[in-house]
């Protein structure tokens, strides 16, 4: 059965038609001449916090890069981690992805941001789209995975790439994904840490070419398309890796722009996870090994995410099931357009403060 993509009206909201670049908008919200733009007719009002979506639908839309929580952090059980350990450790790259004091927007000698409650872990999952020229490119997917201290659940918070936020060391505000363009993963981590007021412990990053290749390694995915766009009619569609990549990159023709794009990403990744965890894949050691080889070849982890650490986390989370993964969208209050013509997602600052507090206190079970 295909995974459902949330549907909105076919009319693009005002302010999302003229999509600006991710270049710096160097003034605050009050100074840049933002033009509010509500949802399109028939789409309903967006929830003030970016939440309020039907619980059953969210359960179907396990968020972007859940594959890496399920397949890397959870490890599909200690047996698979052991069997595939050599492949994983050989293929996966490690790099400095966490910010350093005095660099990456972190004040030298400044007070360290508080960590979450003892035993809880915050992992930033980044899907990057590198440019052919070898430049850093963009962070198209930003997902924070909060592993609860009692290992009863994992909370996945999707951050829209167009969320308009302060970036450390830059004037005014900018789109969230611009932080990655300016300073790579360390500056993106620093931006989110300052936004939430809590520490991010680890980072895992995959390039979007890996997303395409993983789908091809599994023989494709089936997705239920609920909102049509060029090349994608409403209905269940079997997609290869290139088609799926085109599907999740589209946003200009979608009713809620970047938010709708996030729903598509979630839906395709859920289909990917379902296919990877299917009996067809798990009972075929060669097929599963091929998938892990493909995924790990495109994966970069921070230097502290070693195979031994991942194995320990897999064992601590061995009782988790798919229903224990809870999904959220970072609170937003609507859409707007800057004076320069860039469409943005307006952050719900009180809502984000509540989210940060829930992460710090390991209270995501009570977060709504």
Q: At 112, which CATH number?
A: 3.40.630.190
Q: Helix 208-217 and helix 241-249: axis angle, to 10°?
A: 140
pLDDT for 368 equals 83
Q: Is residue 167 part of a domain?
A: yes
Closest by CA position to 199, among listed 126, 122, 146? 122
Q: Helix 208-217 and helix 285-297: axis angle, to 10°?
A: 170
DSSP-based three-state secondary structure for 287:
helix
Q: Is residue 9 part of a domain?
A: yes
Q: Is residue 368 part of a domain?
A: no
Q: Is residue 118 part of a domain?
A: yes
Q: Is residue 365 part of a domain?
A: no
Tokens for 291, please give them.
């998938």
Residue 236: strand pairing partners: 224
Over its C-alpha atoms, the chain yields an Rg (Å, rounded) of 19
Q: Is residue 366 part of a domain?
A: no
Which strands sit side by side in the sheet containing 343-347, from one edge to the other?
A: 35-37, 332-337, 343-347, 163-166, 173-175
Q: Is residue 288 part of a domain?
A: yes
- In this predicted model, what pLDDT tens digit does every residue of 77-120 receive, in sequence order? 444 555 566 677 778 899 999 998 887 777 665 556 888 889 99
pLDDT for 4 equals 33
Provide the domain limits for residue 314.
3-360
Tell the residue number behind the tokens 């509500």, with chain if given: 38
- In this predicted model, what pLDDT tens digit does every residue of 38-80 receive, in sequence order? 443 333 334 434 443 444 333 333 333 444 444 444 444 444 5
* CA 202 – CA 122 distance, rounded (Å): 7
Count of domains observed in the chain: 1
* CA 324 – CA 322 distance, rounded (Å): 5
pLDDT band at 136 (very low <50, low <70, confident <90, very high): low
125-132 average pLDDT score: 74
CB-based contact 314:73 (threshold 8 Å): yes
**DSSP helix, strand, coil percent of the chain (3-state; round to 5):** 35, 20, 45
pLDDT for 269 equals 75
* CA 48 – CA 351 distance, rounded (Å): 8
pTM of the model: 0.76
Closest by CA position to 142, among listed 234, 63, 24? 63
DSSP label at residue 68: H
Q: Is residue 367 part of a domain?
A: no
pLDDT for 123 equals 94
* CA 106 – CA 241 distance, rounded (Å): 38
* CA 124 – CA 111 distance, rounded (Å): 21
């Amino acid at each position: 059965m295909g995974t459902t993509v949330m549907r909105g009206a076919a009319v693009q909201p005002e302010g999302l038609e003229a999509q600006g670049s991710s270049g710096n908008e160097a003034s605050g919200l009050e100074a840049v001449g933002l033009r509010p733009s509500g949802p399109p007719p028939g789409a309903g009002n967006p929830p003030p916090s970016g939440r309020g979506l039907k619980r059953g639908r969210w359960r179907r839309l396990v968020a972007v890069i859940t594959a890496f929580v399920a397949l890397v952090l959870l490890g599909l059980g200690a047996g698979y981690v052991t069997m595939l350990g050599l492949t994983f450790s050989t293929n996966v790259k490690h790099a400095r992805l966490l910010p350093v004091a005095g660099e990456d927007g972190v004040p030298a000698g400044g007070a360290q941001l508080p960590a979450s409650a003892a035993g809880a872990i915050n992992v930033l999952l980044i899907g990057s789209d590198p440019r052919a020229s070898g430049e850093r490119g963009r962070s198209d997917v930003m997902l924070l995975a909060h592993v609860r201290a009692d290992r009863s659940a994992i909370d996945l918070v999707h951050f829209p790439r167009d969320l308009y936020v302060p970036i450390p060391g830059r004037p005014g505000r900018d789109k969230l994904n611009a932080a990655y363009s300016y300073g790579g993963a360390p500056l993106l981590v620093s931006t989110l840490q300052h936004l939430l007021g809590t520490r991010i412990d680890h980072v895992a990053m995959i390039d979007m070419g890996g997303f395409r290749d993983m789908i091809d390694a599994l023989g494709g995915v089936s997705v239920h398309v609920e909102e049509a766009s060029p090349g994608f009619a409403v209905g269940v569609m079997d997609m290869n890796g290139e088609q799926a990549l085109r599907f999740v990159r589209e946003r200009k023709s979608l009713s809620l722009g970047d938010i709708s794009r996030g729903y598509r990403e979630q839906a395709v990744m859920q289909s990917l996870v379902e296919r990877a965890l299917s009996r067809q894949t798990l009972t075929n050691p060669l097929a599963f090994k091929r998938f892990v080889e493909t995924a790990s070849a495109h994966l970069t982890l921070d230097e502290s995410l070693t195979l031994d650490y991942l194995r320990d986390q897999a064992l601590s989370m061995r009782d988790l099931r798919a229903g224990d993964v809870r999904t959220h969208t970072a609170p937003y209050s609507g859409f707007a357009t800057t004076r320069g013509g860039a469409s943005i997602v307006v952050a719900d600052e009180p809502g984000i403060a509540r989210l940060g507090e829930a992460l710090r206190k390991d209270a995501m079970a009570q977060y709504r």
